[in-house]
Amino acid sequence: VCPGFDDRLEADGDGIPDACDVCPGFDDAVDSDGDGAPDGCDICPAADDFGDEDGDGVPDGCDACPDFDDRLDADNDTVPNGC
């Protein structure tokens, strides 16, 4: 399954050997939105991770503040600047 690595090492019980595990510690088969990213490592598990129109690193499907950078919050109120 995982060429060149010990397939017996499989810590999270998802059946994927640790060396090839996309999302260690989580079941790689659970992908609620079908975008190919397992829910345990998915930034936006309820919507696909494709598309980021404002370039802030937050996928459009779960962007709290479209057209603004969600990482910028000058007053630390958890609401991005511009929203």
pLDDT in tens, 12-23: 888 888 888 889
Q: Read off the tokens for 41.
A: 């490592």
Confidence of residue 1 (pLDDT cuts 50, 70, 90): low
Is 18 in contact with 26 (CB distance < 8 Å)?
no
Domain ranges of the chain: 1-46, 51-83
Amino acid (1-letter code) at residue 33: D
Q: pLDDT tens-digit profile of 34-83?
A: 988 899 999 899 888 888 998 888 888 888 888 888 888 999 998 888 88
Is 20 in contact with 1 (CB distance < 8 Å)?
yes
